[in-house]
């Protein structure tokens, strides 16, 4: 704050997740995911708004393309990330008059520390997700970073578009319902990688 003279952008990127069937959902895991993914965004955002001041600012939250094409065994995680979509739309209308732009970026499967910890990378589940992506590969953090910068630059340029949910190009194909193959691969993955139920942050 002292070095740059204030705050002008907030990126809500913190997130945790685990995959598993409905019967695996527990109160403790629900609190863990909702507290980080949804409540964390709600509590961090007003603190940033206080620091933006009259000049306004930019709020960018990281969601997931999975909310547009949900698969089995993801009910808890995707329910927390769908909250990001609603938070973005509501706050865009509420904060727009304060010169604050609100966007969400919704990437598809991305190679992160969490994906490695879950055992997704190199698995049949990864191969299935790749088969559903337009670019035919898993996403990488460097695919998402330029989109985040673009959202920030639009605010600096005085764009009047106050809200958008942007899907990164590597995102899962949103056409059609999840295939039976995805259901089977998810089942295999949760069986082969029990740590899916107790994953570390992505």
The whole-chain average pLDDT of the chain stands at 79
Please check whether residue 200 is in contact with residue 137, taking contact to mean a CB–CB distance below 8 angstroms: no
Is 77 noted as a catalytic residue in this protein? yes
Report whether pLDDT(23) > 70. Answer: yes
Q: Is the pLDDT of residue 202 over 50?
A: no
46-65 per-residue burial string, b: 16 or more CB within 10 A, e: under 16: eebbeebeeebbbbbbbbbb
pTM: 0.74
Per-residue pLDDT, 93 = 95
C-alpha atoms less than 13 angstroms from C-alpha of 100 in its C-beta half-sphere: 25
Q: Shortest CA distance to 81 belongs to which of 31, 27, 140, 41?
A: 41
At 84-128, the pLDDT tens digits run: 999 999 999 999 999 999 999 998 888 988 889 888 899 988 888
| Active-site position among 52, 77, 125, 138 | 77
pLDDT at 11 over 90: yes
Name the more confident of 82 and 159.
82
In order of their start, the domains of the chain are 9-198 (3.40.50.720)
Cα–Cα distance between 65 and 21 in angstroms, integer?
A: 20
Mean pLDDT, rounded, for 10-22: 93
Percent of the chain with pLDDT over 90: 46
Q: What is the pLDDT of residue 167?
A: 57
Q: Structure tokens of 187? A: 């089942």
pLDDT in tens, 158-197: 444 455 566 554 434 444 443 333 344 334 433 443 333 3
């Amino acid at each position: 704050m002292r070095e740059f003279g204030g705050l002008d952008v907030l990126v809500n990127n913190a997130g945790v997740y685990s995959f598993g069937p409905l019967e695996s959902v527990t109160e403790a895991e629900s609190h863990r995911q909702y507290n980080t993914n949804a409540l964390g965004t709600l509590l961090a955002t007003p603190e940033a708004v206080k620091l933006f001041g009259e000049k306004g600012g930019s709020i960018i939250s990281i969601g997931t393309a999975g909310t547009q094409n949900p698969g089995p065994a993801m009910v808890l995680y995707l329910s927390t990330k769908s909250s990001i979509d609603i938070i973005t739309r509501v706050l865009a209308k509420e904060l727009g008059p304060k010169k604050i732009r609100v966007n969400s970026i919704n990437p598809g499967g991305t190679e992160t520390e969490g994906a490695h910890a879950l055992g997704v990378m190199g698995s049949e589940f990864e191969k299935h997700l790749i088969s559903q992506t337009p670019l035919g590969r898993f996403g990488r953090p460097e695919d998402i970073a330029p989109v985040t910068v673009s959202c920030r630059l639009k605010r600096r340029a005085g764009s009047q578009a106050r809200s958008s949910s942007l899907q990164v190009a590597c995102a899962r194909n949103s056409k059609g319902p999840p295939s039976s193959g995805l259901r089977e691969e998810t089942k295999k993955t949760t069986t082969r990688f029990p740590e899916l139920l107790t994953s570390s942050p992505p």
